[in-house]
Structure 1
Amino acid sequence: MSGIVLSASVRQNLLSLQSTADLLATTQSRLSTGKSVNSALDNPTNFFTAQSLDNRASDINNLLDGIANGVQVLQAANTGITSLQKLIDSAKSIANQALQTTVGYSTKSNVSTTISGATAADLRGTTSYASNTALSSVLYSGAAGGTTAATGTTTLGATQGTFSNAVAVNAADGTTAVTGTMTLIGTTAATKIGTAPADGDTLTVNGKTITFRAGSAPAAAAVPSGSGVSGNLVTDGSGNTTVYLGTAAAPTATVNDVLTAIDLASGVQTSTITNGAATIGAASGATPSSMAAGIVTLKSSAGADVSVTGKADLLKAFGLTTATGGGNATATATRTTSSTSLGALITDGSTLNVDDKVITFKNAPVPGSANAPAIPTGFGVSGNVLTDGNGNSTVYLQTGNVSDVLNAIDLATGVQTATIAANGAATLAAASGQIASSINASGQLKLSTGINADLSITGTGNALNALGLAGNTGTASAFSAARTSGIGGISGKTLTFTSFNGGTAVDVTFGDGTNGTVKTLDQLNSKLQANNLSATIDANGLLTISTTNDYASSTIGSSAAGGAIGGTLTSSLTFSTASTPVQDVVAQTSRANLVNQYNNILQQIDSTAQDSSFNGVNLLNGDQLKLVFDETAKSSLSITGVTYNSKGLGLAALTSGVDFIDNAATNKVLTNLNAASSTLRSEASALGSNLTIVQVRQDFNKNLINVLQTGSSNLTLADTNVEAANSQALSTRQSIAVSALSLANQSQQSVLQLLR
């Protein structure tokens, strides 16, 4: 071909066309590959840099699969822990059910002793009481000067009071003196009093009523039940009397009848009623009222002053007032004290309330005495005291004395007792170990409180004041004195228990509950609680100390459990030998079933831990997971697995008859379960932390691959817009070059044509 000669223009056009073809081929290659650098010839620096970036991105991308697998391994382990936690919770539920099940023993180990009189409020036992003595204010007799001390024989009653009108009272004719035999009504002025009472008129004497009635007194068979007739009088036996006047033509009632009626009301005279007939007689030592030569001698009883109230004209007719008219007037006869009576007299109807028993002071003769009512059935009389035998008494003022009051008080407090005979006689005697109350040389009542209750005396009327029981000022409304109390039987004694089942050894000193001593059952239980023991007491004082439910299977004082009893209390009280606990078959069967359920849970824990694997790696079965995060293996994470089967969690299979037999055994299982639960939570936290690290690194690697690939692309990728424009331009250029070459060839051929 060397013989072929091309012209310069053809050669030039051929070279241009060849260059354009090369450029066009390069542009088309860039458009087809999308890269501007397809080989080291294109751009060695960019080509090899991009290749390095792509290689690193590829290496990191290869690590992502391992990281993803690691994430699944961690999630599988976390899923396993979640399931294990639920199984642990189920096991806890079984253990708690055992705690709530009936205690596995019908009788727990206990020791007991009886403390006489002990109660839950005071374990010290029966408190002993001794009678105390209380003194009243000084009692004085009625002797002149008012400074003579009273004695036991000083009477409660006084000298009868007398009302005497020194002016003779004439009869209606104005000249005849009134006598006791004069009638109250009639037609003859010389034989009747000046002012006659009308039918229905009344006199009031010491609260009793005397009623005047026209006509004759009824026969004994016709009087009201409980009343009695005597002459012209009908009396109810209590001082209320009806005086029957008769008629004007045949008058019956006399002045003496009115005076007798007054005496019945005042207690100077008394009546004994039998089958409607009343027998009237003067009270012991009393002088009845009388009327002689126009002078009335009105007598009070020894037990009360007398007060007579009625129409002034009627009282004037008896010489009891100088007042006149239809209005009321009052005549009184006041007693006088003496060296034999109290200086302060007790009023009729006053009472003393002694330890809820009632002593009543009455102005009347003593039942059973001369001209006095009979002794009521069920009652007895001793001296001047009528008693019901139960501490309630009546002291009769007319003849009673200070000793009678002291006896009545003693009967109320129980210091003395009364034995009542069939005839109504009461025999008093001091109760065992008691000293009867007395009056000392200074005139003070020396009252024994007795042992039944603290002494408490209140009263009505003037009894408290008259007996010196109202205090120094005489204004106190009550008199009281406390018994002497002893201390319970075990006060100061000590009871000890050595440590029982790991509890705190106990030293219990019985006392008043202060300074660390124990008085009540609650205080004792507070002491025993720390040593796993508890106490109860029954109504008979039986103190029982037993194990708590937590240690129902243990025996007090055994070598295995401890709790030996000792102390000074054991020298005065005998404790029973510690009993062994008695199993409750039904309860133990129920607990054995719970043991089986618990063991089934442990088997599920083992299988769950074994199945918590992914792709052959089990972090709950001791496997290790190593994850590489970069292409040089310099960045990695090693996760060491754990063995979380039942043994790895510290849980062991339970044995029927040993575990769950009481609350203490159950609580031990619960303690292990709580520890296992805490272990799982801790591991779950660690796995969560590691999973977070792996996921963060996984996301980092993904983003890094993108960065590397983007950097590589930036170095090698072509700009398709530019390359497309270049391709179009080169195509045009190629077309022009072909046309130029054609023109060059035509020109050369024309020259050749000329040469022909």
Structure 2
Amino acid sequence: MSGIVLSASVRQNLLSLQSTADLLATTQNRLSTGKSVNSALDNPTNFFTAQSLDNRASDINNLLDGIANGVQVLQAANTGITSLQKLIDSAKSIANQALQTTVGYSTKSNVSATISGATSADLRGTTSFASATASSNVVYSGAAGGTTAATGTTTLGATIGSFASTGATAGDGSTALSGAITLIATNGTTASGLLGNAQPADGDTLTVNGKTITFRWGAAPASTGVATGSGVSGNLVTDGNGNTTVYLGTAGTPAATVNDLLSAIDLASGVKTVSISSGAATISVSASQPGAAVSTAAAGAVTLKSSTGADLSVTGKADLLKALGLTTAVGGGNATINVNRTTSAASLGATIADGSTLNVDGHVITFKNAPIPGSTGAPSVPSGFGTSGNVLTDGAGNSTVYLQAGTLNDVLKAIDLATGVQTATVNANGTATLATATGQTNSSINASGQLKLSTGVNADLSITGTGNALNALGLAGNTGTATAFTAARTSGVGGISGKTLTFASFSGGTAVNVTFGDGTNGTVKTLDQLNTKLQANNLTATIDANGLLTVSTTNDYASSTIGSSAAGGAIGGTLTTSLTFSTASTPVQDAVAQTSRANLVSQYNNILNQIDSTAQDSSFNGVNLLNGDQLKLVFDETGKSNLSITGVTYNSKGLGLAALTSGVDFIDNAATNKVLTNLNSASSTLRSEASALGSNLTIVQVRQDFNKSLINVLQTGSSNLTLADTNVEAANSQALSTRQSIAVSALSLANQSQQSVLQLLR
């Protein structure tokens, strides 16, 4: 073979064919592997760089399994915490059942003492009280200067007021108005009545001191035709309370006169009184009015008078009042005339308004502008009532003081009847016999003008009022704006007023100092006030009808004994020197209730066992973060990026929960509340750990996603260095195939040339 010599052309074609074959083999290898760099010979730099990237991607990929296991460990712990939280809630439910069950003791520890006469409204308790004296502000008379002290005889009523008109005429304008002039005119004779536009119409009204005067056409009814309680007198029908109907007659036969109208006004103002019998009314001047102090009309002058007991106010159609010369206003609208009283040295400096009241210890004193019933011209005394001076009483402490002739002594008398300082016996003749209660002193007024009010012994003095009675009588305080006047009676022998009862701190409560008094300035009067004080020291009080005051423990501490070394609550104070308290009793268990509570203790302990087993079972792949294990996760191939999670021990003891003991725990509300406090703390601990686990789980999941993405980045980078472009390699393969075909053809041609030379030699 060594002797064979190839021609240059054959050798050249053969070498070209070999080169093409090598290139074609390389291209086909790239197409089959998909890589342009398959060994270090292809491209050492890219090959080893890509190999490094692939190795790192492989290392990180190997870490993903550990990270995935870590996620499951965290989820297992979170699942355990969720279950533990539900078990804690079940335990809370059991504790709440204990709170809602019957108290475990049929009798709680208590101490008691009898306070004679004590009630829930007044614990001071006594069989007798001494009447105290309370002073009002100075009450002045109406003497000039306003600084003269009033006396007991100072009248409540003032000097009558008077208002006189001038120049009032009848309808023709020339005849001076007189009381005989009718209110409506005879047809065609205008001088017989008021001006046409001043004549009252059917249904018109006047309002006098809150009373109503109504005008009606026609004649007054007979006495047999009036309503029950009303009476007829001439052209007037009155209800006895100041409300009157004036019958005008007709244009053909006028009836009511100016005198009738003035009489109706005087009935409403109290200047006149009426006595009604069988539908007939007898009207007379009030005996309390000085002289002939009635409203009149003569020689064109209409004079209005107030009573001594109230100012006069008349409101009505302006035209009517102008026709009487009382106003200059005209028209169909209303105008008002006021006639005020004046005070004097004999009367109070501040007049009391009609209808004002005083409420004294629950009894009502009413001030009325009228003469006392039974007096001359006044209505008779109502059945069941009696009069004394200017006071009408029902014998039970309720009174009416009549302003027209009443005095300050009458007011003091009415107050004493309300407080029980004085008593009233109602007589058959309509009078009342008053007597001062044994050991009491009647209220009075001193030389300085102060009312000296006796409180009486039945109750502490309390006076409220309506209208201006409190102010007028100096009972509205220093500023004149107080709405009540109060004063305490003095506790008699055997009472506990001013004495103090003390309890040392009981079962962790606040020590209590209780001073008994009138309920003001921190003192205690009522049972409610005492319980408010005792509440902070876990104690409560009751009192029975015999005055037995019992102080016992609250439900929260039903198992504790008052005054014991364990619970405290020792009794002391000045009250113990006058009252003997019983020895504190020990609580008596209720067998049925304690059995129920013992069953709840058993249920609670079962839940604790479930908490222990749940915490023990909350593991994954041998790691339990609720049993103190530690989880370490590595996130990169160097081990420098990692996360260590230290587990917790969340069995019942780790959560601060201990097994309960029957007969010790759940025996009262305080013991139960301690368990609830521990459960709430455990629940809070679980929530905090769940939050921490959630945060760590988020971190691990983020790193897991990060590593997956990083692996993709590394592999993509490796591929970019080694992968072949299949489009290019396919084109190269096609080109090399063509080249190879051409090379084969060229080699064949070169061989044919040698064959031709061989033929010549043959």
Instruction: Judge same fold: TM > 0.5, yes or no.
Output: yes
Partner of 2:153, secondary structure, is strand
Q: Does 1:487 align with 2:503?
A: no
Find 1:694's aligned residue among 692, 697, 700: 700
Shift of 1:357: 5.8
Partner of 1:18, secondary structure, is helix
Does structure 1 conserve the Cα–Cα contact (< 8 Å) formed by 2:130 and 2:457?
Answer: yes
Does structure 2 conserve the Cα–Cα contact (< 8 Å) formed by 1:349 and 1:360?
Answer: no
Deviations 1:246-273 (A, max 9, x none): xxxxxxxxxxxxxxxxxxxxxxxxxxxx
Give the distance between the partners of 1:603 and 1:737, measured in 2 at CA.
90
Deviations 1:352-403 (A, max 9, x none): 999x962489xxxxxxxxxxxxxxxxxxxxxxxxxx99999xxxxxxxxxxx
What does residue range 30-41 of structure 1 map to in structure 2 within 5 Å?
30-41=30-41
Does structure 1 conserve the Cα–Cα contact (< 8 Å) formed by 2:37 and 2:43?
Answer: yes
Partner of 1:752, secondary structure, is helix
Does structure 2 conserve the Cα–Cα contact (< 8 Å) formed by 1:547 and 1:554?
Answer: yes
Give the distance between the partners of 2:723 and 2:634, measured in 1 at CA.
31
Deviations 1:270-303 (A, max 9, x none): xxxxxxxxxxxxxxxxxxxxxxxxxxxxxxxxxx
The match for 2:4 is 4
Deviations 1:428-461 (A, max 9, x none): 99865468999xxxxxxx99997668999xxxxx
2:107 maps to amino acid = T
Task: Check 1:482–1:84 CA distance in 2 against 1; reply closer, same or farther (3 A cut).
Answer: closer
Deviations 1:585-614 (A, max 9, x none): 111111111101101101110111111111
Larger radius of gyration: 1
2:129 maps to amino acid = S
Task: Check 1:690–1:34 CA distance in 2 against 1; reply closer, same or farther (3 A cut).
Answer: same
Does structure 2 conserve the Cα–Cα contact (< 8 Å) formed by 1:109 and 1:556?
Answer: yes
Give the distance between the partners of 2:455 and 2:651, measured in 1 at CA.
80
In structure 1, the gaps of 5 or more residues are: 140-343, 362-387, 393-406, 421-426, 439-445, 457-469, 472-480
Task: Check 1:518–1:742 CA distance in 2 against 1; reply closer, same or farther (3 A cut).
Answer: same
Q: Does 1:513 align with 2:519?
A: yes
Give the distance between the partners of 1:433 and 1:692, measured in 2 at CA.
89
Give the distance between the partners of 1:454 and 1:65, measured in 2 at CA.
88
In structure 2, the gaps of 5 or more residues are: 136-150, 156-371, 399-412, 428-432, 445-451, 463-471, 474-484
Does structure 1 conserve the Cα–Cα contact (< 8 Å) formed by 2:131 and 2:454?
Answer: no
1:358 maps to amino acid = G
Q: Does 1:582 align with 2:583?
A: no
2:515 maps to amino acid = T
Q: Percent identity?
A: 86
Does structure 1 conserve the Cα–Cα contact (< 8 Å) formed by 2:101 and 2:593?
Answer: yes
Give the distance between the partners of 1:30 and 1:408, measured in 2 at CA.
129
Partner of 1:536, secondary structure, is strand
The match for 1:174 is none
Moved more, 517-526 or 714-723: 517-526
What does residue range 69-88 of structure 1 map to in structure 2 within 5 Å?
69-88=69-88
The match for 1:545 is 551
The match for 2:129 is 128
Deviations 1:308-357 (A, max 9, x none): xxxxxxxxxxxxxxxxxxxxxxxxxxxxxxxxxxxx99946989999x96
Does structure 2 conserve the Cα–Cα contact (< 8 Å) formed by 1:133 and 1:449?
Answer: yes
The match for 1:44 is 44
Partner of 1:137, secondary structure, is coil
Q: Does 1:721 align with 2:746?
A: no
Deviations 1:450-508 (A, max 9, x none): 7668999xxxxxxxxxxxxx99xxxxxxxxx9999323722221111111111111112
Give the distance between the partners of 1:689 and 1:345, measured in 2 at CA.
93
What does residue range 525-564 of structure 1 map to in structure 2 within 5 Å?
525-564=531-570
Does structure 2 conserve the Cα–Cα contact (< 8 Å) formed by 1:352 and 1:360?
Answer: no
Give the distance between the partners of 2:592 and 2:15, measured in 1 at CA.
114
Deviations 1:483-538 (A, max 9, x none): 99323722221111111111111112222333322223222222211111112223
Give the distance between the partners of 2:590 and 2:632, measured in 1 at CA.
56
Give the distance between the partners of 1:504 and 1:453, measured in 2 at CA.
33
Task: Check 1:556–1:520 CA distance in 2 against 1; reply closer, same or farther (3 A cut).
Answer: same
Task: Check 1:350–1:436 CA distance in 2 against 1; reply closer, same or farther (3 A cut).
Answer: farther
1:128 maps to amino acid = F
Does structure 2 conserve the Cα–Cα contact (< 8 Å) formed by 1:595 and 1:659?
Answer: yes
For these two proteins, the number of residue pairs brought into alignment is: 484
1:63 maps to amino acid = L
The match for 2:153 is 137
Shift of 1:89: 0.3
1:735 maps to amino acid = S
The match for 2:629 is 623
The match for 1:682 is 688
Does structure 2 conserve the Cα–Cα contact (< 8 Å) formed by 1:555 and 1:580?
Answer: yes
Shift of 1:753: 2.3
Task: Check 1:583–1:8 CA distance in 2 against 1; reply closer, same or farther (3 A cut).
Answer: same
The match for 1:270 is none
Shift of 1:106: 1.1
Task: Check 1:452–1:117 CA distance in 2 against 1; reply closer, same or farther (3 A cut).
Answer: closer
Give the distance between the partners of 1:348 and 1:592, measured in 2 at CA.
85
Does structure 1 conserve the Cα–Cα contact (< 8 Å) formed by 2:422 and 2:434?
Answer: no
1:74 maps to amino acid = L
Task: Check 1:626–1:116 CA distance in 2 against 1; reply closer, same or farther (3 A cut).
Answer: same
Does structure 1 conserve the Cα–Cα contact (< 8 Å) formed by 2:417 and 2:423?
Answer: yes
1:496 maps to amino acid = T
The match for 1:651 is 657
TM-score normalised by length of structure 2: 0.57
The match for 2:258 is none
Task: Check 1:706–1:492 CA distance in 2 against 1; reply closer, same or farther (3 A cut).
Answer: same
